[in-house]
Structure 1
Amino acid sequence: MALRFNGEQSTEHLRAQSHVWNHIFSFINSMSLKCAIQLGIPDIIHSHGKPMTLQELIDALPINKAKANGVYRLMRILIHSGFFIEQKIPDDEEIFGYWLTDASRLLLKDEPISLVSYLQVVLDPIMIEPWHHMSEWLENDYTSAFETTNGKTFWDYASHEPKLNSYFIEAMISDSQLISSLVIRDYREVFDNMKSMVDIGGGTGTMAKAIAEVFPDMSFMVFDLPHVVAGLEGTKNLAYIGGNMFESIPPADAVMLKWILHNWSDEESVKILKKCKEAIPSKEKGGKVIIIDIIGGNGKADHEAIETQFFYDLSMMVYVNGRERTEKDWANLFFDAGYTGYKIAYALGLRSLIEVYP
């Protein structure tokens, strides 16, 4: 029997249909952005120095010119999603050209805080495939959908996959350059009265180096897996140490965990925090753990930011059996690990800086 709707019901169902279609096709935003990066569109427009007409862009792109209409259609959706704008050309204000937005400036290859490597990691086929196996993972005993897909954890896979590992390291370096500049500018007091700090999972040391330059009288250590820090040279007040954070952590006045704990389950995070507590002095003597991570539902995020936090949470589940946490979740971790208190500063975009006291 055919379905029959009154006028109001028909409108609601058409609206619902549109909503479903939008989400079915939402991957097109990501793939269109990846295409623009692969073609080098942000850098081409930036090098042009002023708004670029469609024909100028087509002429500059290494494409089959018979497919020029595809460039117009690609740019149309990227304008709609906020990565480019149409702006009058200074020499002829009757002609419009494509120009960059703040978002596309973060996708310039030579931008110190470029997100190109991060895009290349997340949108690599290796990282896309596990999403096709999420329902399968919910039914089996593997720790993540990534492990369900590849038969090994993300960390094991990345350590033997040079391209993925390289993109991942570059993405973390870029992120640390941005976050370190903000922390140093707005939260210098976090490092007051400290003589030493160890950056857990600090990779090549971008975060620690930036802080060490501003506080030359402090001693800094970058602590990561032996193969990560092998061959890296320290400076006058910074050293690289290889080890395993689940076993022991070098002693210091403070321990930093930037974007580390969201990679791990609650049980594993408590273990890490307990090892941190063993490495630092009492609160009275200035001991603390500095955490930079997402706090979900902090009440200050807009719709897009909240959605992005949800995206991150599912990503941690799919890739590494980790999770994003609310303030209550974080507090439970801290107290389960034996800490006495914490202080939060909501000032790092999607993430927050948390000071945790033993």
Structure 2
Amino acid sequence: MRVLGLISGTSADGIDAAIAEIHGQQADLQVDLIAFETIAYDPALRDRILEVAAGFPLSVAELTALDAAIAQSFARAAQTLIARLGSVDLIGSHGQTVYHQPPQVGQLGWSVQLGWGAAIAQQTGIPTISNFRSADLAVGGQGAPLVPAVDLWLLGSDSENRCVQNIGGIGNLTWLPRRDRPDWQTEVRGWDTGPGNSLLDLAVQKLSQGRLSYDAGGEWAATGRIDQALCDRWLQEDDYFRLPPPKSTGRERYGWQFLETWAAELDRLSAADQLATLTEFTAISIADNYRRFLPALPDRVLLCGGGLHNQFLVQRLQQHLPTVAIASTDEFGVNSQAKEAIAIAVLAYWRQHNRQGNLPAVTGAKRAALLGDVFIP
């Protein structure tokens, strides 16, 4: 099938759209990327999304209007690629996450992804699958991360243990044990490691008074000095890092509220020192997750997401994982920037073929489930 995957991450930088030709199912899964593009949100819509994700209150009417506006943006993104590259058989749309609440003891979690799937199907005239997280949440899972089920078949190795580390707004990993082990499929794990680009991007926007949206290449942060004592406090006082997997998080924890909570400590540092310290915190939180919860350090880490291009962040991660080879997923056949959109395309493809898409060992769900709601135009 020719499938279009759509997703906007927690940073709401824009809509990632990937068209892929997909064959096979799991062990024989083959994904050929035809095109990938990031299509920017209208600035006013992006500002509204970030306000809501930061906890800005809104009425039910405002929420549904935002849901419709995001759906229209996703539909236009799909139509942009289709007009240039030809039609597709299926659309998979993750939507825009604005709130994520992991399950608590005796209580199901919930997660809100805006971008009305039925509207996308009707506006494009193409069957659309959306709302991928809800079925996993309904059977007691975290609803995240969902990508490890795809990583398992696209990026595993017969000769080495690997971690696939996405550094989007939030960081998340997939642990892929070497495939020559008899039970390797059941040993795959994945969870959110904590902050990715979220804190850095928000700090840059504040420190530049809105002139910049991110620190290109980590060049600004690289001129600063790391406040190691403050990093250590964050790591020690934040109970998320001690929480064993399965676990998931979002901008609710690592967003404006975090920066406001620690504003007094941050404001005594120069702008460059703040960014250097937040970069170090991001890198050390990833490495700390590896050491606490993986059965062993991986032989290789495959990076993807926007953080891959932050050279200072990658250098700090390598400093904390000196014995581990660090590469990008590009070097192993999966486009690092398109990877999340490709995963959504695969999840939609599986749903269309009635194949379960979650990994209970990753999300903590009681059982495997069909992921996604199907909308036929």
Does the pair score TM above 0.5?
A: no
Q: TM-score, normalised by structure 1?
A: 0.28
Q: TM-score, normalised by structure 2?
A: 0.27
Instruction: Give the number of the structure with larger relative contact order, counting CA–CA contacts within 8 Å between residues 6 or more apart.
Output: 2
Q: Which has the larger radius of gyration?
A: 1
Task: Name the structure with the higher helix share.
Answer: 1
